């Protein structure tokens, strides 16, 4: 198990709401598991599973023996921490006797992310009850939470640690994208003092590539030339800075499952073969935001040219102040109306960043 997950109330959550706080946590699903907020009725099962020396000895902030009333206190504290965007400590559950009249949800373990208020990073921790070891619960739950974190929490890096002699946890972290960065020491409550640990970290670039879509997308417009021409292909993407009556600019957050998930960008999308950038932008704004834009309302402003690993992106940016319809997140993506001077507070893809200063100065 990773060592960071506490099972005692943390310090009080910050009182000021984070302007980039994620939406209320909705349960995450995997093939076999549900990852959801802890409930008061989980306390008895949580106590039974974690009050086990083989589990507790791997967790830095867990006492042993583990008092029963501490389970109630800790579960109550997780609600406040989550509401403040400070930490997400969650239940891992599965189904026993699935598909039968006796089907019931069972607590398997816990997983958590603790966000560092002073840095754009969060720490991952987890544990699994001993009776569920050897069934792949850890990587299935941790991989799902890591993917969710980069798409929904305003962080650029996740960190974790594992005891030097806990090879199982070290291998798990490597499987889901973490890289070992060195050695450290942490105090372990149950063991009565400091213990050596391996340190790990990962960024968005370390996430496994999304599974390919069953239906290939329409081919984007690429630079003319033979298929085997040297150099990177040029990918043409059109983007739009929608500006409302108060002078705010709309940003959309890339959803989980897409490259660069969790970063904020100007709405738009790929230019398909045979399309003009203006036509592509009108189509994308209708599909993604449910608004209608006339080509005459799109004003060319600037463009980005950025080399990614496998292609070179060329992205014209248009300004638009007039449209019909209410801006709606059709695909469930997070949206934010941002004042120009605040645009730099939002983490954006490398191609979008140079446009921020130009847009801020212009507006």
Total Cβ atoms within 10 A of residue 287: 11
Q: How far apart are CA 135 and CA 217, in angstroms?
A: 36
What are the start-end ranges of the E strands in the chain? Answer: 28-29, 34-37, 87-96, 104-115, 121-128, 157-163, 179-188, 193-203, 233-242, 249-253, 264-265, 268-270, 299-307, 311-320, 335-338
* Averaged pLDDT for residues 39-51: 96
* Averaged pLDDT for residues 183-205: 95
Question: For the ranges 44-48, 167-171, 256-260, which has the lowest average pLDDT?
Answer: 256-260
pLDDT tens-place string over residues 86-142: 899 999 999 987 778 888 999 999 999 998 777 889 999 999 999 999 999 999 999
Distances (CA, A) of 229 to 225, 232, 311: 6, 8, 13
Longest distance between any two alpha carbons in the chain, whole Å: 70
DSSP 321-354: ---BS----TT---EEEE-GGGGGGS---TTTHH
Is residue 333 predicted with pLDDT exceeding 90? no
* Averaged pLDDT for residues 217-240: 64
CA quadruple 47, 49, 54, 57: dihedral sign: negative
Q: What is the mean pLDDT of the chain?
A: 87
Q: How confident is the model at residue 211 (pLDDT cuts 50, 70, 90)?
A: low
**Pair of tokens at residue 182:** 């060195």
Q: Would you say 161 and 197 are in contact if contact means Cβ atoms under 8 Å apart?
A: yes
The percent of residues in the chain predicted with pLDDT above 90, rounded, is: 66
**Pair of tokens at residue 120:** 């754009």
Residue 116 pLDDT = 79
User: Please, what are the domains in the chain?
Assistant: 28-206 (3.40.630.30), 233-362 (3.90.79.10)
Residue 256 pLDDT = 87
pTM for this prediction: 0.79
Is residue 214 predicted with pLDDT exceeding 80? no
pLDDT tens-place string over residues 264-318: 999 999 999 999 999 999 999 999 999 999 999 999 999 999 888 888 989 999 9
On the question of a cis peptide bond just before residue 225, with omega within 30 degrees of 0, the verdict is: no
Is residue 161 predicted with pLDDT exceeding 80? yes
Q: How far apart are CA 241 and CA 281, in angstroms?
A: 11
Q: How far apart are CA 161 and CA 122, in angstroms?
A: 12
Is residue 222 predicted with pLDDT exceeding 70? no
Residue 10 pLDDT = 54
């Amino acid at each position: 198990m990773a060592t960071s997950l506490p099972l005692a109330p943390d310090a009080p959550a910050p009182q000021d709401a984070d302007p980039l706080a994620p939406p209320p946590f909705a349960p995450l699903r995997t093939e076999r598991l549900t990852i959801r907020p802890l409930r008061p009725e989980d306390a008895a099962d949580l106590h039974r599973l974690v009050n086990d020396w083989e589990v507790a000895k791997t967790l830095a902030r867990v006492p042993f023996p583990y008092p029963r009333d501490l389970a109630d206190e800790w579960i109550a504290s997780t609600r406040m921490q989550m509401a403040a965007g400070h930490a997400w400590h969650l239940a891992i559950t599965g189904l026993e006797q699935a598909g039968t009249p006796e089907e019931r949800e069972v607590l398997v373990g816990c997983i958590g992310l603790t966000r560092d208020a002073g840095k754009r990073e969060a720490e991952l921790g987890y544990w699994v009850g001993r009776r569920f070891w050897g069934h792949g619960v850890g990587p299935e739950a941790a991989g799902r939470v890591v993917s969710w974190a980069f798409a929904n929490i305003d962080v650029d890096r996740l960190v974790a640690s594992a005891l030097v002699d806990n090879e199982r946890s070290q291998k798990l972290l490597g499987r889901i994208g973490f890289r070992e960065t060195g050695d450290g020491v942490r105090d372990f409550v149950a063991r009565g003092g400091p213990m050596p640990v391996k340190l790990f970290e990962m960024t968005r670039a370390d996430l496994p590539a999304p599974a390919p879509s069953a239906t290939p997308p329409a081919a984007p417009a690429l630079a003319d030339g033979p298929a085997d021409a040297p150099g990177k292909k040029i990918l043409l993407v059109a983007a739009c800075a929608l500006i409302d009556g108060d002078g705010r600019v709309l940003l959309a957050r890339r959803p989980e499952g897409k490259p660069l998930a969790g970063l904020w960008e100007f709405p738009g999308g790929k230019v398909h073969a045979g399309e003009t950038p203006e036509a592509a932008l009108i189509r994308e704004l209708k599909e993604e935001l449910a608004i209608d834009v006339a080509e005459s309302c799109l004003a060319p402003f600037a463009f980005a040219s950025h080399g990614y690993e496998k292609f070179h992106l060329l992205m014209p940016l248009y300004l638009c102040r007039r449209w019909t319809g209410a801006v709606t997140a059709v695909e469930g993506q997070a949206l934010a109306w941002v004042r120009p001077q605040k645009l730099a507070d939002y983490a954006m893809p490398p191609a979008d960043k140079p446009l921020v200063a130009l847009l801020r100065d212009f507006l």
